[in-house]
Amino acid sequence: MFVVEGAFKYTLSHDTEQALETIDLLLGALRMNGQILGREYPVTIDGEKIRTFLLIPEENSLDESRANDYVLKWLAKLENLGVETSWGILGVEPYSAPVCKCLRPKFYILYTTYVSLESPIRCGDCWGVVPLYRLPTTSGGEYVDIISWQSDYQACDTLQMNCSTGERFGTFQLSKYGSSLSKRGIDICSRITELTRIATYYYLMQSTGRGRKAEQTRKCPSCGGEWYLTEPLYGLFDFRCDQCRLLSNIAWSVR
């Protein structure tokens, strides 16, 4: 990830209210197009300029060639308001995972955690992050389905991590094959598999188990088949069913 400063400079009018509203719509459209990450963007009004600070997946994420119709619409609206838009890279975000550089990954994994700001698509070959705009759009010319699944997943993961309110609810959503969250995630994986012809796996988190031995004999919750891996994948996944495109881990409590 990179940290970028967005600068919106008045060249004609000084209609701050309209400019702020349009910038907000532009940032929303950029987010739904995978061009910017996270959902908290500090904005400041600084004399002739409105400035904001954003996270982007790659140095060239904001290139106009990646823009969709919504992004172009709000950029044009800003231009009509007499507001000049520019992006300046401030530097690499040091805590971020590397971006996938594979030409054609053999498979993808839909994976996120409560602290992740990155795209929830990981490359199966290098475990690198795959910016969403590398995929065909999955929902009305954008990635709304993936981004809203990600924020709901993170909400459940936060409940599970904080162990105070709704812990059981959060854990159920993250780990049960038939939960509402899992169904939506599996649906997204099927859509990506269909659109890219690259198998996309869904991860079912397992937090508690009866014992390591009992865990190892767990079967795929969809087809009931064997799915235990003798070598864990990326130190995270101990189970993998290629038929159902599912991954899981030996319960953290006994791993």
Report the residue from 126, 161, 199, 233 that binds Zn ion according to the rule CB under 5 A. Answer: 126
- Angle between the N-to-C axes of helices 144-162 and 16-32, in degrees from 0 to 180, rounded to the nearest 10: 90
Choices 84-92, 128-136, 140-148, 187-195 (CB under 5 A): range interacting with Zn ion: 128-136
Smallest gap from Cβ 246 to Zn ion, in A, equals: 6
3-class secondary-structure state, position 146: helix
Q: In what order do the strands lie in the sheet with 107-110?
A: 121-123, 107-110, 199-204, 246-248, 237-241, 228-233
Interaction of residue 99 with Zn ion, rule CB under 5 A: no
3-class secondary-structure state, position 130: coil
Residue among 87, 86, 66, 91 nearest 2 (CA): 91
Residues 83, 41: Cα–Cα separation, whole Å:
19
- Detail the DSSP E strand segments found in the chain: 2-10, 43-46, 49-56, 83-92, 107-110, 121-123, 199-204, 228-233, 237-241, 246-248
Interaction of residue 222 with Zn ion, rule CB under 5 A: yes
Smallest gap from Cβ 201 to Zn ion, in A, equals: 11
CB 70 within 8 A of CB 33: yes
Smallest gap from Cβ 208 to Zn ion, in A, equals: 22
Report the residue from 109, 123, 181, 250 that binds Zn ion according to the rule CB under 5 A. Answer: 123
Interaction of residue 161 with Zn ion, rule CB under 5 A: no
Interaction of residue 32 with Zn ion, rule CB under 5 A: no
Smallest gap from Cβ 140 to Zn ion, in A, equals: 27
Smallest gap from Cβ 109 to Zn ion, in A, equals: 11
Size of the site for Zn ion (CB under 5 A): 14
Report the residue from 76, 102, 115, 195 that binds Zn ion according to the rule CB under 5 A. Answer: 102
Interaction of residue 193 with Zn ion, rule CB under 5 A: no
Residues 71, 30: Cα–Cα separation, whole Å:
6
The one-letter amino acid code at 245 reads: R
Interaction of residue 241 with Zn ion, rule CB under 5 A: yes
Interaction of residue 221 with Zn ion, rule CB under 5 A: no
Smallest gap from Cβ 146 to Zn ion, in A, equals: 18
The backbone region for 196, taken as left when phi is positive above 0, alpha when psi lies in -120 to 50, beta otherwise, is alpha
Interaction of residue 189 with Zn ion, rule CB under 5 A: no
Interaction of residue 196 with Zn ion, rule CB under 5 A: no
Site for Zn ion, rule CB under 5 A: 100, 102, 105, 123, 125-126, 128, 220, 222-223, 225, 241, 243-244
